[in-house]
Amino acid sequence: MLSIEDFVDQNSRMLHRSAWLLTGNWTSAEDLVQTALLQSWLHWEAIRSDAPEFYVRRVLVNTFLSGQRRSWTRESPVDVMPDRAAVDELPATELRHVIWTALSGLPPKQRAAVVLRYFNDLSETQTARVLDCSVGTVKSQTSRALRKLRLVPELQSLMEKVGHE
Amino acid sequence: MNDFERRLTDLLHTGTPQPERVITASELSELAQDEHAPRGHRSTRWGVPLMAAAAVLVAVTVPVYVIGHDNNSPAPASPSLRPPTSAPTSSPSSTASNTPGSVATCLTSQLSLSSGPSGAAAGSVYTTFFFTNTAGAPCSIRGFPGVSLLNDAGNIVGQPATREGSEGSSVRLAPGQRAQFTLRLSTATQTGCDTPRPSSGIQVYPPEQTVPLRIPFTTASCSVSVQSLTQAH
């Protein structure tokens, strides 16, 4: 039987990365992961036998979405790509910058759907389970998100380079 | 999935940054205790003051755990009652093999190596590789693999991969599960790579192992760097 310690060690890194995609900064990401893992820790006996990774993702996403409703914690998205002369020196920085610029333009729920579907590789059904909504809602949220992401030119040009050489 | 979705998936997998540090089980153990403390300081953020407070709490409660802790007994029902994994090592029961949930380091003979998706950005090519646990028992793997590129004759080409980023945390691999690492190859003149050297294979030492694994991997590069192992998603 999986122990909570192993569960934490196995999932912490991916949860941090998912939370970064939602929030765009490590401080908020750590807050989300801590909240989600602590809840899992406290309720481990109840959740361990029934796909605890769904539980932890659900707490993470719900905490993110409920935090978003408070205006004083809302992030300020970058609406204009700043000029970056030295991008070649820092490919990783460039990648994360473009990714966050694109994701920050999405409403929170669409962003959450994109992260679950395309970073966590969940199916539409699994995403619906985490977001506690219908598969139809997942489909409409992701298709709206994809429509917006297609209009981000920096994302498009980066995609040309990544993955299809 | 359409082409755009596939590209988005590749981009997110490649470009989402790795955290410099992650929350560990022992930190959570302390936070969980903090949560249960009747009039204790409750905090939703960890930080130095909280860690100090938790350390005091641990110091006070550890003797009780040591007395009550029997290595052969099953895990206590409530996770919050487990001894903190950061307990002082003077505890007679604390040896590496007895740490809750710890398993042996993965041996080369228990692992297979495969290459995964490849992507490129700004003069570098990123390729993901996987170690699969092919044994019948779980094992754990942590840190940086030792990576070299090989020519057709099987000889090492250029310098071994340099390490990039932090060592990362331990990844537990159940039978059939995978850990992954990302290799970055400098391939273009804009990264100072004028004469990339061709290679057709890759040799990888799993962390702490003296026997390498080899698979075909055709590329041309000037330098190679490797990031630490993480759980495969």
Q: Give residue-wise pLDDT tens across range B38-93.
A: 443 444 444 444 444 444 444 433 333 333 333 333 333 333 333 333 333 333 33
Q: Indicate if B114 and B223 belong to the same structural domain.
A: yes
Contact list in B for residue A88 (CB cut-off 8 A) is 122-123, 190-191
Domain boundary pick from B48, B64, B80: B64
Within a domain: residue B139? yes
CATH number at residue B112: 2.60.40
Going by C-alpha positions, the residue among B209, B80, B214, B76 that lies closest to residue B149 is: B214
Q: Indicate if B225 and B136 belong to the same structural domain.
A: yes
Within a domain: residue B94? no
Q: Indicate if B112 and B55 belong to the same structural domain.
A: no
Query: Who contacts A163 (Cβ-Cβ below 8 Å, separation ≥6)?
Result: B6, B7, B10, B11, B14, B117, B118, B119
B127-176 per-position pLDDT tens digit: 999 999 988 889 999 999 999 999 888 888 888 899 888 888 899 999 99
Q: Indicate if B45 and B160 belong to the same structural domain.
A: no
Within a domain: residue B96? no
Within a domain: residue B100? no
Distance CA B53, CA B50 (A): 5
Secondary structure letter of residue B173 according to DSSP: E
Distance CA B90, CA A116 (A): 43
Going by C-alpha positions, the residue among B108, B60, B106, B104 that lies closest to residue B84 is: B60
Going by C-alpha positions, the residue among B219, B200, B206 that lies closest to residue B178 is: B206
Structural domain for B49, as ranges: 3-64
Q: Do B17 and A17 touch (CB under 8 A)?
A: yes
Residues 192-221 of B with CB under 8 A from A: none
Contact in structure between A112 and B28 (CB atoms under 8 Å): no
The residue of chain B nearest to residue A87, with distances taken between CA atoms, is: B122
- The domain total for chain B is 2
Interval A16-39 mean pLDDT? 92
Within a domain: residue B125? yes
Distance CA B154, CA B161 (A): 17
Q: Indicate if B52 and B141 belong to the same structural domain.
A: no
B91-139 per-position pLDDT tens digit: 333 333 334 357 889 998 889 999 988 877 767 888 999 999 988 889 9
Chain B CB within 8 Å of residue A163 CB:
yes
Within a domain: residue B91? no
Chain B CB within 8 Å of residue A135 CB:
no
Q: Indicate if B200 and B116 belong to the same structural domain.
A: yes
Within a domain: residue B54? yes
Within a domain: residue B180? yes
Q: Do B8 and A149 touch (CB under 8 A)?
A: yes
Q: Indicate if B116 and B53 belong to the same structural domain.
A: no
**Tokens 């930080």 belong to which residue?**
B47
Q: What is the pTM of this model?
A: 0.49
Q: Indicate if B58 and B172 belong to the same structural domain.
A: no
Q: Indicate if B155 and B210 belong to the same structural domain.
A: yes
Q: Indicate if B114 and B205 belong to the same structural domain.
A: yes
